[in-house]
């Protein structure tokens, strides 16, 4: 078994999701589509849960990674909590059966309406990110006659050594309050009648491939816990955020495992007798999903061949947005020793940014054949758009030999009829 196991493997030369052949799903739903594996989602949640065994803990799945209701329902059934960052995500959590005491609300820009929604519907805690937010939350809670449980997100000023767009723990980022100002900010929180301080929150970035930045951050959190307790604050819960990376490029990446991360948490924070919360998203959903697409054309260009797919940047924006790497495999396995050929792999959208990768060696493929993007289960479907009036693509969940469409493809009529024409334009 490889270090990171998933359930998308070739069987008899054809790619499967668990026990279902990808071609069978393509036949039923058309391309492109996302497909997720129940077994991988389950396994990844359990890896985190087991890594924190022996500590009072709750794994709060960061649904921003993949918020399909079926995925959330599965997470709820496994005993997960959930991390939400908007009123919409809060309502998704409730609809999937998470009780309020399993929902954590993060984010720098919570509105009064979102606060009210969560206070009325039940909330485990708000991770508060600024003094103005604290004051507003206290007011909203008071107006409802309740007290809002909070942690304050501190920014420990460590370099997460990840892509600049997803690093959050440096002092220049918009997130949290500078750790050096924690004492005065906690004093303010304690003075506000609508708030109850219960702990500390920290999240330093996403797709971290080393434990070292976590270690630096958590040592600072440990010290801060002692300081704040000495100041008279109740610090009983530590929310440690998410961020553990996954091997997008399997041939040369080996990010830390949840069990190694868990050992670090125990070593740096175990003596504090706090309840531990973590908010993993990518590691739970990322390698639990693939994007399947059909080759439309193979086009010979100037010194290169383009593989033009029916999936595009609007379906999977990570390569265009972060220069992200995704493994791309033919759905029908190439013969051992088959000739490799370099391709620029692109979508049909009218901009050059719609390029998934350049000069990627792959076994030869022909129009009509299917390819699969690995590691597309997190930040894939959730970041998709209908740019170029390309419908959001279906999501499919596999469980052993069964599969179900968990979000269907909208029809063009549905898309067009979402828009309305003002009276004065009507002829």
Is residue 62 at the binding interface for ligand LLP, with CB under 6 A as the rule?
A: yes
Measured from the CB of residue 201, what is the shortest distance to ligand LLP in angstroms?
Answer: 8
Structure tokens at 170: 């440096």
Query: Should residue 247 be labelled a site residue for ligand LLP when binding is judged by CB under 6 A?
Result: no
Judged by beta carbon, residue 243 or residue 247, the one nearer ligand LLP is 243
194 is a site residue for ligand LLP (CB under 6 A): no
The answer to whether 83 contacts ligand LLP (rule: CB under 6 A) is yes
Among 44, 92, 233, 318, binds ligand LLP (CB under 6 A): 318
Which one among 32, 149, 169, 242 touches ligand LLP, defined by CB under 6 A?
Answer: 242
Contacts 24+ apart (CB under 8 A), 254-261: 254/3, 255/208, 255/209, 255/210, 256/209, 256/210, 256/211, 257/3, 257/47, 258/44, 258/47, 258/48, 258/50, 258/51, 258/283, 259/47, 259/50, 259/51, 260/211, 261/51, 261/211, 261/214
Q: Smallest gap, in angstroms, from Cβ of residue 378 to ligand LLP?
A: 6
Active site (catalytic) residues? 350
Q: Which of 20, 22, 29, 65 binds ligand LLP (CB under 6 A)?
A: 65
Smallest gap from Cβ 189 to ligand LLP, in A, equals 19
Q: Is 326 in the site for ligand LLP (CB under 6 A)?
A: no
Check residue 289 for interaction with ligand LLP (CB under 6 A): no
Shortest Å, Cβ 379 to ligand LLP: 3
Give the shortest CB-61-to-ligand LLP separation in angstroms: 9
- Choose the binding region for ligand LLP from 32-40, 227-235, 241-249, 395-403 (rule: CB under 6 A): 241-249
Member of 379, 381, 397, 399 binding ligand LLP (CB under 6 A): 379
Interface residue with ligand LLP, options 16, 203, 220, 237 (CB under 6 A): 203
Q: Which residues are near ligand LLP by CB under 6 A?
A: 62, 64-65, 83, 106, 166, 203, 206-207, 241-244, 279-283, 318, 322, 378-379
């Amino acid at each position: 078994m490889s270090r990171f196991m998933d359930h998308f493997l070739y069987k008899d030369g054809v790619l499967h999701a668990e026990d279902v052949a990808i071609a069978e799903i393509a036949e039923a739903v058309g391309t492109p589509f996302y497909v997720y594996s129940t077994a991988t989602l389950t396994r990844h949640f359990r890896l985190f849960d087991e890594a924190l065994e022996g500590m009072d803990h709750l794994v709060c799945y960061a649904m921003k990674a993949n918020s399909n209701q079926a995925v959330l329902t599965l997470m709820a059934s496994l005993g997960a909590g959930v991390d939400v960052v908007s009123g919409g995500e809060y309502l998704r959590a409730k609809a999937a059966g998470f009780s309020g005491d399993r929902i954590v609300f993060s984010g720098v820009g919570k509105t009064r309406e979102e606060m009210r929604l969560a206070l009325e519907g039940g909330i485990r805690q708000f991770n508060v990110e600024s003094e103005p937010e604290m004051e507003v939350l206290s007011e909203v809670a008071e107006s409802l006659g309740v007290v809002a449980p909070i942690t304050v997100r501190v920014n420990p000023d460590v370099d997460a050594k990840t892509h600049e767009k997803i690093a959050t723990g440096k002092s220049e980022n918009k997130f949290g309050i500078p750790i050096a100002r924690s004492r005065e900010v906690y004093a303010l929180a304690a003075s506000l009648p609508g708030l109850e301080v219960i702990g500390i929150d920290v999240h330093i970035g996403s797709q971290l491939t080393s434990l070292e930045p976590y270690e630096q951050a958590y040592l600072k959190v440990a010290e801060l816990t002692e300081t704040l307790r000495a100041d008279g604050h109740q610090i009983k819960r530590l929310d440690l955020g998410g961020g553990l990376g996954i091997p997008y490029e399997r041939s040369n990446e080996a990010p830390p495992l949840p069990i190694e991360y868990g050992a670090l948490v125990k070593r740096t924070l175990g003596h504090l007798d706090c309840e531990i919360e973590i908010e993993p998203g990518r590691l739970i959903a990322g390698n639990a999903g693939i994007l399947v697409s059909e080759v439309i054309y193979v086009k010979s260009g100037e010194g290169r061949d383009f593989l033009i797919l029916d999936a595009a940047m609007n379906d999977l924006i990570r390569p265009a947005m972060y220069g992200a790497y995704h493994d791309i495999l033919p759905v029908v396995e190439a013969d051992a020793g088959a000739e490799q050929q370099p391709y620029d792999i692109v979508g049909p959208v009218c901009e050059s940014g719609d390029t998934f990768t350049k000069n990627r060696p792959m076994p030869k493929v022909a129009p009509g054949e299917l390819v699969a993007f690995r590691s597309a289960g997190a930040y894939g479907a959730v970041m998709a758009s209908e740019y170029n009036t390309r419908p959001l693509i279906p999501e499919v969940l596999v469980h052993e030999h069964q599969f179900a469409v968990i979000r269907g493809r909208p029809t063009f009529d549905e898309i067009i009829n979402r828009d309305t024409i003002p009276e004065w334009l009507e002829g």
